[in-house]
Structure 1
């Protein structure tokens, strides 16, 4: 939704990212909400009544100032249910003050949960944990893990063994052995492949290189990491609590991540500079992409 740092430009909005679950009818989670995020959402198929959770990394304005308006607008979307919102300490005071001063009333229950470290969310399919990063103010990174899925059912093999299409197929896929009318036992392991490894997505807030970033990104299928400055600007990056392209790539390499998406680029870099920034990181970590606003990135299962 936004890939710029500090302030918006004509090419990039400020920080926000959506993790979309197509199999859940377009449901999505939002990570950060800089100013103008709801305008960016209008340029996508995403709808606010499909927003299931919000995760804020820290309380700098370029990650936060779009949140009150977005939450208010969500009240006008039919079917918008209760909404959990996670963020560092202070997020509740911020929202309570904004809503009280402006007289804003939400038509749904906003469940604000301030977090520091550890597991914070589990919906039965995906779980989330967070850890503190190294920035100028308290800042969180989030690791989102999917549970392993049952292996693929070889329906042709099941039919050959006499299993009729219907509920027994589902039982086999769930790992259950089934008994046919003639007493034959068909074992799940004979017709179902090995479990499909769940995916891992890591989205970090602003940070200097730190051990917690590596731990959150360990083995991730996709790591979203800030790269505010180009390689060679490590001193300036450290001064402001940020990372360079090379440092983001080094974190991905240390963590054994599969892919790296760099974001949060300084206002000094134009769209035509993205290829150069991308190439800097690829010298350290080849599977790197420089993000641009409204770019969609598929996260396939490893078997695919």
Structure 2
């Protein structure tokens, strides 16, 4: 199974219980993993998790605000100290390449592995190992992106009972059937592997949002099996702010998810004002009043499998 691990779920600044934004994706049967955003202190969060920076192969940055990117430079330096030989890919908005290269030059950071930085834009599609990723432009005070992850279908399993009933002897032939190959028995009978496989399991579709005050930007790509999106404030608190920041409220997100027909939401990027007993539930209740699906509030080191 694939898994998501929340390494940082706070908005803007860390708290005693939440670090700033970082989310890890690990695909099944692979040690390599992908990181979405890398706020300050992310490498410390990795040390406290089941993950290893040594096997980190790819990083996506949603936007260049510090709580989403300031941890990148320390993580690169530490990964270099581990003498990790595999190339590292980093993707993000325009300006990311200049930011990383400038810090590396001024701090004389020399890495033992190849570093590939790609600046992405709206409409870009990447075909990666096990899934396709689409880049979605969001609405924020700086260029910010969300991502649609569409995972490959999982092949069906070999129906061994059906194979036995057909008189196919157990052993290497079963492996060939599982790979969908044609098998010929000594008596001349031929069997197609696809006829002995259960139907494939459709791959999941995930929506991962960067900072964004218009969650309906994801609507053209809906539905999703899961949406992970910021819910920085309650609507009441947001309305009282003397200065409005371009973030989504819990109510906005719930209404958008209901319109998109989603079944599950995970709220993240939580304002530190809710990092007290009881207040965090205000966000949950606000979403539940307008959204019929399942909703959870992410916390640091929360892990979900799919």
Same fold (TM over 0.5): yes
Aligned to 2:296: 289
Contact 2:137–2:146, Cα closer than 8 Å, also in 1: yes
Q: Deviations over 1:118-163 (max 9, x none)?
A: 2442234212111110001000001111111221221122122122
The aligned counterpart of 1:70 is: 75
Distance in 2 of aligned mates of 1:6 and 1:254: 28
Distance (Å, rounded) in 2 between the aligned partners of 1:204 and 1:49: 26
Q: What is the TM-score with the length of structure 1 in the denominator? A: 0.91
Aligned residue number for residue 98 of structure 2: 93
Determine if contact 1:4/1:266 at 8 Å carries over to the other structure.
yes
* Correspondence list, 1:4-19, <5 A: 4-19=10-25
Relative contact order higher in (CA < 8 Å, ≥ 6 apart): 2
Measured at CA, do residues 264 and 246 of structure 1 come closer, stay the same or move farther in structure 2, by a change above 3 Å? same
Give the Cα–Cα distance (whole angstroms) in 1 for the partners of residues 296 and 55 of structure 2: 28
RMSD, aligned α-carbons: 2.0
The DSSP-based 3-state class of the residue aligned with 2:104 is helix
Whether 1:204 and 2:233 are equivalent positions in the alignment is: no
Say if 1:236 and 1:90 are closer, same or farther in 2 by CA, change over 3 A.
farther
Given the superposition, is the C-alpha separation of residues 161 and 101 from structure 1 closer, same or farther in structure 2, using an over 3 Å criterion? Answer: same
Tell me, yes or no, if the aligned pair for 1:161 and 1:186 is still in contact at 8 Å: no
Map of 2:282 onto structure 1:
276
Distance 1:22 1:149 in 2: 10
* Among candidates 218, 222, 226, match of residue 222 of structure 1: 226
**Unpaired segments ≥5 residues, structure 1:** 300-304
CA contact (8 A) 1:249 1:288 kept: no
Q: In structure 2, which of residues 190, 198, 201 is the aligned counterpart of residue 193 of structure 1?
A: 198
Distance in 2 separating the partners of 1:149 and 1:274: 37
Mapping for residues 86-235 of structure 1, pairs under 5 Å: 86-216=91-221, 218-233=222-237, 235=239
2:84·2:112 contact (CA, 8 Å) conserved in 1? no
Unaligned runs of 5+ in 2: 1-6
Q: Give CA-to-partner distance per residue, 1:148-189, whole Å, 9 cap, x none.
A: 122122112212212233443233233334222212222334
Instruction: From the superposition, tell whether residues 147 and 63 of structure 1 become closer, same or farther in structure 2 (CA, over 3 Å).
Output: same
User: Alignment partner of 1:168: what SS?
Assistant: helix
2:258 aligned with 1:253 = yes
TM-score by length of 2: 0.90
Alignment-derived partner of residue 61 in structure 2: 56
Instruction: State the secondary structure of the residue aligned to 2:273.
Output: coil
Report deviation, 1:231.
3.1
| Residue number among 265, 268, 282 corresponding to 1:263 in the alignment | 268
Q: Is 1:83–1:109's contact at 8 Å kept on the other side of the alignment?
A: yes
Count of residue pairs the alignment pairs up:
297
